[in-house]
Amino acid sequence: MSIEKVRDYLEGFGAGDRIIEFPESSATVELAAHAAGVIPARIAKSITFQDGDGCLMLVTAGDTKIDNRKFKDTFHFKAKMLSPEQTLAFTGHAVGGVCPFALPEGVKVFLDSSLRRFDTVFPAAGSSNSAIQLTMQQLEEYCCNFSGWVEVCAVREPKE
């Protein structure tokens, strides 16, 4: 089970016991925000993209969308999200629990600067009903295959 792999991985940082398992789904930004009792922007969503024959993961604040021009200028290819099946194959995590922890080698992980607005954020922890609260320093430190900070997202305008 993916959450157990994540728990074992985070144990290496002394943080395995900090995973929160919710009695309800946290598989989307909105559900995760409700479960964690925070605004959606504080959910650190992990998005996977096709990178040649591999996978690139971008972790961004929950209230953002990809700015295609910035993405292409930064990564030098067009943003093409992986299918749920491809995401599972590349990361070992099913959609709803995708996170930047316990990943196979070769999955490059980037953190978007939209996260830096917050003292702490809540990325998933390998299942559709889990998360862990982390500071930016912890998120950077705990990320598998951390490849750097980027600025490729725009904050979505709130819906009226």
What are the residues whose beta carbons fall under 8 Å from the beta carbon of 11, sequence distance 6 or more?
none
CATH number of this structure's domain 2-149: 3.90.960.10
Stretches in the chain below the pLDDT threshold 50: none
Q: Which two tokens stand for residue 128?
A: 């559709």
**pLDDT tens-digit series, residues 48-72:** 999 999 999 999 999 999 999 999 9
| Helix and strand numbers, DSSP H then E, in the chain | 5, 10
CA torsion sign for 132, 137, 142, 145 is positive
Residue 31's region, left for phi above 0, alpha for psi from -120 to 50, else beta, is alpha
pLDDT given at position 156: 78
pLDDT given at position 159: 60
pLDDT given at position 1: 63
